[in-house]
Structure 1
């Protein structure tokens, strides 16, 4: 009985109702803002890890003069170890190295530049955005696409 009286008390007091309404409005906004910062931080950290692996692979590509199967396997293994396992999206296997230099380029050639491109599906933030009215009809989650250019150091 005492509990019922305790619960009815804020309903009789208009200030208690106003406080409850403000709490019900402010609390979800605060929670959404907090989790948004966490999601964004995780997204940025994943991209930084991907860039670190990309930079190391670009050094190897510069030494060899082109993207070898060994560099692809090594990079794929490193990406798998840091949370980017090989995945298939719409029939395409990721990480994808399309756009990279596949033919050997020598240092003494007229154009000794080499390219390394790594593409990987990004985290799908659409699900979180749909909570506040985002469009969930789009099925492609977006991609991390890091492209780097270097100079070939291979002599033969």
Structure 2
């Protein structure tokens, strides 16, 4: 009998029902906002890390005077560690360094500029949107990072 009275008491209280309904409406909204903020923060931090990797690679290119295989391997390894592994798309291995300075540039050359270009396929948002019923045959595009610097190599 005591349990039955305990159950009836909140149901007879109009204010308790109102608070319960309010809680059930606000709690999912709060959780959704929290997940959005955390996802956005993770995305921003990941992009900052990619930029740091590019900056470090351009420093190494400036020191060596060109983009060599060691720098390529180091950059691929660092990108892989943050979720951008090496992938092959249409016969091209990404991250791709096409457009980078691949021949030695000395500090006292007429144009001592060295260049680093990193190209990587963008994440396919179509897979996420297909969950909501959308379909797309478009290519999602590429991340394209580039940097220039002055060669510090003497000879």
Q: TM-score, with normalisation over the residues of structure 2?
A: 0.72
- Corresponding residue for residue 149 of structure 1: 148
Structure 1: runs of 5+ lacking an equivalent: none
CA contact (8 A) 1:65 1:114 kept: yes
Find the aligned partners of 1:98 and 1:40 in 2 and give their Cα distance: 30
Root-mean-square deviation (Å): 3.5
- Corresponding residue for residue 66 of structure 2: 66
Find the aligned partners of 2:97 and 2:4 in 1 and give their Cα distance: 66
Find the aligned partners of 2:141 and 2:9 in 1 and give their Cα distance: 52
CA contact (8 A) 2:126 2:135 kept: no
Find the aligned partners of 1:80 and 1:99 in 2 and give their Cα distance: 21
Cα deviations by residue, 1:98-141 (Å, 9 ceiling, x for unpaired): 3322233222222211111223455667777899x8x8545766
3-state SS of the aligned residue for 2:41?
Answer: helix
3-state SS of the aligned residue for 1:93?
Answer: strand
Bigger shift: 57-66 or 73-82? Answer: 73-82
CA contact (8 A) 1:47 1:144 kept: no
CA contact (8 A) 1:65 1:154 kept: yes
Q: TM-score, with normalisation over the residues of structure 1?
A: 0.71
Cα deviations by residue, 1:20-77 (Å, 9 ceiling, x for unpaired): 3322321111111111121122112222222222222111111222211221112212
Q: Taking structure 1 as reference, are residues 119 and 28 closer, same or farther at Cα in structure 2, changes over 3 Å only?
A: farther
Structure 2: runs of 5+ lacking an equivalent: none
Find the aligned partners of 2:88 and 2:7 in 1 and give their Cα distance: 55
- Corresponding residue for residue 114 of structure 2: 114
Bigger shift: 61-70 or 117-126? Answer: 117-126
Bigger shift: 90-99 or 1-10? Answer: 1-10
Give 1:85 shift: 2.2
Q: Which has the larger radius of gyration?
A: 2
- Corresponding residue for residue 78 of structure 2: 78
1:5-154 map, 5 Å:
12-89=12-89, 92-121=92-121, 136-137=134-135, 144-154=143-153
